[in-house]
Structure 1
Amino acid sequence: MAKDYSARHLSVLEGLEAVRKRPGMYIGSTDSRGLMHCVWEIIDNAVDEAIGGHGNSIEVIVHPDHSIEVSDTGRGIPIDIEPKSGLSGVELVFTKLHAGGKFGGSSYQSSGGLHGVGASVVNALSARVDVEVDRDGKTWAMSFRRGEPGVFKDSAEPDPKSDFEPFVSDSALKVRGKVGKNVTGTRVRFWPDPGVFGTDLSVSVDDLVDRARQTAFLVPGLALEISDTRQQPSRKESFHFDGGTVEFADYLAPDEARVGPWRFQGTGTFTETVPVLQDNGHLEQTELERELAVDVVVRWGPGYDTVIKSFVNIIQTPKGGSHLQGFEQGVMKVIRQEVEKNARRLKVGSDKLEKDDVLAGLTAVVAVRVPEPQFEGQTKEVLGTPAAKGIVQQVVSEKLRERLQSGKRDDKAQSALLLEKVVAEMKTRISARTLKETQRRKSALENSTLPTKLVDCRSKSVDNTELFIVEGDSALGTAKLARDSDTQALLPIRGKILNTQKASLQDMLNNQECAAIIQVIGAGSGRTFDLDQVRYGKIIVMSDADVDGAHIRTLLLTLFFRYMRPLVEAGRVFAAVPPLHRVVAKHRGSTPNEVLYTYSEAELNSVLADLEARGIGYEQPIQRYKGLGEMDADQLAETTMMPSGRMLRRVRVVDAEAAAAMFELLMGNEVAPRRQFIADRPRLDPASIDV
């Protein structure tokens, strides 16, 4: 077999062919995330120009044919001939990997692009790319098809399916028009290749808007405009902020600020040995001194959710890296020292702070700027520059210590609030851990701490068991007779539980109904929630099919989302769907009557119309279930509880940030936004409300 494998079996992928063969290596994936990465490769080039002081506006247009156009007012891609390759600057940037102006020269002091592959990768993965550059009083243009330069013979609008004539022996930029002598800028429009991304994939404008807003916060003074012309009227979003990272932190925070916002800025230098291109064309290892600028904003709110966004040269690093490690270590070191100094006043005892205690309720923006940062991979999700850790830690430690030890009245008050908050989080964590350790999987006889109203099941297998949270004792009585006692447990609640979106953590723990639910599920709550300790495979909310039942279901889901979110994210929370109507179809002769259940008015009307069309009568009046207690045990079992005939709705968190914002809007403390939200909805038909 070894003789059949020789050098002739090896393949060498050259140029953009390698990108098309292995796109995941360059853009991470070929799904929506990879497509968005392509869009931001082009936008980041424009942002780098703005950071360098060249241009202050960027426009992004999503066209009806799903192509994306990015325009900027920067210096424009160079149009002159690069002497070594003999290609124009535009063709070089869009057809050659590792070509660009960000390899240690003086063109960019800091930038998001580093590897020189962004534009060429987008070109390789696009069915068509049109580039226009305004420079020297003219508009220069060039087009590409899957990375190959040439000319499209369009009959009207630009179309990637138009006849294409590639350049054979020579290629050149085409002059398309004239502009003012001082007008500069670049316009790039590309059509993602359906052979790479699929025919149904299109860019998400919501993701574009979020990223544009984020970039506008990080580059004060930069105006970004996103337009989606695929719909009529077209959607247009514009962003322009002058407040920088402080304003960004206020936007990101899920609650009001109790401490901060505090902004920490500083710089540090380090040396590194990197290969530098010499005049003779050779790379030589050269020791360079780098400067790293740190800009950090922190603020703590009353909740326990942590929101930390980290950036390098305005590129988000969602998986962190050395700068985020330095930030966390700096914050931990200083706060631990201050808590130890004030241990007696804070009644800390021998307990030790952990990272989660300090990060609870924290919203932070950690941004650094450095020439040629080292990323782990082309997708730039992790910063690998080792020196960033020490510099960020030093800046954060010094500035935070100054705040906590400041003699100013406002700083002293906020410092005391911060220390009291982290100590309270530590004590809550310890108490919750102690409670959790006593709540292992046991039967009701083995564990006397479980609520007496729990009707537990006999099986100890988590995978097969279900906990039904039912509304009231009347529904409990019927559910007891309808359930499978081997695998189905019942927990009744009394009416509407506490709105946990408004209430504090302590109020939630003191609430009898909330405490009983947490105790029965057996996995703790909040940061200490342990999915592996959940006592049941499914948690099913079973409430009446009316307005009050929907309200109870919403309150319960708020509790799960806020304090047991991993349970929701794992897809283990369900809502039972009981029927609204029971129709008994009367058949002639010896054929037994047929019982039909419907779940909406529309379905009822459809069923009745079908029976009438078939000449089948039905009993009058039609039974309308106002609550679970009105159903017989066999009816409840057949329609709502037994897996063979029931219908469950799985509760999912597709977008955690959007879900959190919606929960805060509908269930939070702010009344005005909720009133406006309701006022903006289409008016409800009073007849459709079950009263």
Structure 2
Amino acid sequence: MSEYSNDPELIKSIRAKPGMYFGSIGARGVEQFVYELVANVIDLYLANKATFARVEIDGSTISVMDDGVGLPFDEPSDLDGVSLATKFLTHVHWKRSRDGHVPHVHIKRLGIGIAPLNIASNRLTVRSWRSGLLWEQHFSRGIPQSPATVVEEGNGRGTKIEVFPDAEIFGEAKPRLGVIRAALFEAVHLYSGLKIEFHQERFHAHLGLQMLGFMLLNPLSLFTNPDPLPFHVTLRAENLFIEVAIFGEGLRKSIFSWVNGVITPDGGSHVEGLLQALKDVNWKPEIGLIHLVMLDPNFAGPMRTKLDVPQMRKAIRDALREPLREYRSACKI
């Protein structure tokens, strides 16, 4: 099978069995539209190609805007007369990401790609700035309704995708605003510096997991533990992005963990590496938070509830040991 396919049978399969791709044909299914579009912006952010996403939901219409480098409407694909951007939007890919880029992250647990999203939409409109030109193209159920055209020239930047999930698949289901808000709020804490606007709110956490940790911490511990600011570090090591925040002292510790943007409630190799590093410095904290983004494309797919990549255990332990020792020494602990 080729890396891309718009086989009519595959399109029929996506529309006939959408639950296999979206996890649900109810509210959770249409919420996946938001997560997929925002995750694409986060990929750009991690590659230093975008700084924010703006999410708007009006009934069943979902729009996501960014300030990124734009979709490659100005680049040809290997299909005659079809731009690379149009191919991305219409052809299902079988790689971890449509163009093999890393990092590649997710929100929640699914990662469906933009083409299945397009196929399951009654209509999708994309407007994207690229090299001084604003391109526009319209789709219905994954099929282009017109060629991509230039509608404006100037110095604009970014992409806006507006999508209306198909009622034939999802009925009257609409995204739950509270659920979306919670997911976006968490996302900015997982990616320090990222900005996300949602309706009239703007989320931004320049200290990432440290700010999230304060919200998870037992308020009483702020009075009973006189420690200075918590341990907080962001590292890159061995094709990994690692962010860790550690708080206080406690007989019963709680560890919160994520991999590639997805929470891992059952922990796994990254948590084991963190616990080993904490043991090395004789620290039994009240809570710890760790987010691991793996740059190896082999690990760029959606994460399950537990990370089982044994080599990550040593990599994280080695990366954290010295920063933890320095912190404990500076705190005279």
How many angstroms apart in 2 are the aligned matches of 1:26 and 1:379?
15
* Distance change (3 Å), C-alpha of 1:317 and 1:76: farther
1:367 aligns with 2:291: yes
Per-residue deviation at 1:379?
Answer: 6.3
Match of 1:297 among 210, 233, 245: 245
How high is the TM-score relative to the length of structure 2? 0.81
1:245 aligns with 2:209: yes
Match of 2:105 among 112, 115, 125: 112
> What is the aligned partner in structure 2 of residue 68 from structure 1?
62
Equivalence map 1:495-534=2 (5 Å): none
Per-residue deviation at 1:109?
Answer: 4.6
Please say if residues 103 and 300 of structure 2, whose CA atoms lie closer than 8 Å, have aligned partners that are also in contact: no
1:367-394, Cα deviation, whole Å (9 max, x unpaired): 2233235459646655454432221133
1:556-581, Cα deviation, whole Å (9 max, x unpaired): xxxxxxxxxxxxxxxxxxxxxxxxxx
| Larger helix fraction of residues | 1
CA-atom RMSD, angstroms? Answer: 3.2
Per-residue deviation at 1:88?
Answer: 1.4
Please say if residues 329 and 393 of structure 1, whose CA atoms lie closer than 8 Å, have aligned partners that are also in contact: yes
Equivalence map 1:114-263=2 (5 Å): 117-150=112-145, 172-175=147-150, 177-181=151-155, 183-199=156-172, 201-227=173-199, 236-255=200-219, 256-257=221-222, 258=225, 259=227, 261-263=230-232
Please say if residues 27 and 378 of structure 1, whose CA atoms lie closer than 8 Å, have aligned partners that are also in contact: no
Q: Percent identity?
A: 25
Please say if residues 129 and 144 of structure 1, whose CA atoms lie closer than 8 Å, have aligned partners that are also in contact: yes
1:326 aligns with 2:246: no
1:68-114, Cα deviation, whole Å (9 max, x unpaired): 10001101111034342232122211111117895786xx452316x
Please say if residues 217 and 248 of structure 1, whose CA atoms lie closer than 8 Å, have aligned partners that are also in contact: yes
Per-residue deviation at 1:211?
Answer: 2.0
> What is the aligned partner in structure 2 of residue 534 from structure 1?
none
State the AA in 2 paired with 1:178: E
> What is the aligned partner in structure 2 of residue 411 from structure 1?
332
1:79 aligns with 2:26: no
Equivalence map 1:581-596=2 (5 Å): none
* Distance change (3 Å), C-alpha of 1:128 and 1:250: same
Equivalence map 1:207-606=2 (5 Å): 207-227=179-199, 236-255=200-219, 256-257=221-222, 258=225, 259=227, 261-269=230-238, 291-300=239-248, 306=254, 308-312=256-260, 314-331=261-278, 333-334=279-280, 338=282, 358=284, 361-362=286-287, 364-374=288-298, 378=302, 382-404=306-328, 406=329, 408=330, 410-412=331-333
Query: How many correspondences in the alignment?
Result: 318
How many angstroms apart in 1 are the aligned matches of 2:21 and 2:13?
10
Please say if residues 225 and 239 of structure 1, whose CA atoms lie closer than 8 Å, have aligned partners that are also in contact: yes
- SS of structure 2 residue aligned to 1:140: strand
How many angstroms apart in 1 are the aligned matches of 2:234 and 2:194?
21
* Distance change (3 Å), C-alpha of 1:252 and 1:266: same
How many angstroms apart in 1 are the aligned matches of 2:309 and 2:148?
39
Larger radius of gyration: 1
State the AA in 2 paired with 1:215: A
Please say if residues 72 and 187 of structure 1, whose CA atoms lie closer than 8 Å, have aligned partners that are also in contact: yes
**Per chain length, whose mean CA-contact separation is higher, i.e. which structure has more relative contact order (CA < 8 Å, sep 6+)?**
2
Match of 2:10 among 15, 36, 39: 15
How many angstroms apart in 1 are the aligned matches of 2:308 and 2:191?
23
* Distance change (3 Å), C-alpha of 1:373 and 1:30: farther
* Distance change (3 Å), C-alpha of 1:117 and 1:88: farther
Runs of 5+ consecutive residues of structure 2 not aligned to the other structure: 1-6
Equivalence map 1:632-671=2 (5 Å): none
* Distance change (3 Å), C-alpha of 1:390 and 1:46: same
* Distance change (3 Å), C-alpha of 1:241 and 1:328: same
- SS of structure 1 residue aligned to 2:192: coil
- SS of structure 2 residue aligned to 1:368: strand
How many angstroms apart in 2 are the aligned matches of 1:61 and 1:212?
12
How many angstroms apart in 2 are the aligned matches of 1:403 and 1:136?
46
* Distance change (3 Å), C-alpha of 1:104 and 1:203: closer
Please say if residues 121 and 166 of structure 2, whose CA atoms lie closer than 8 Å, have aligned partners that are also in contact: yes
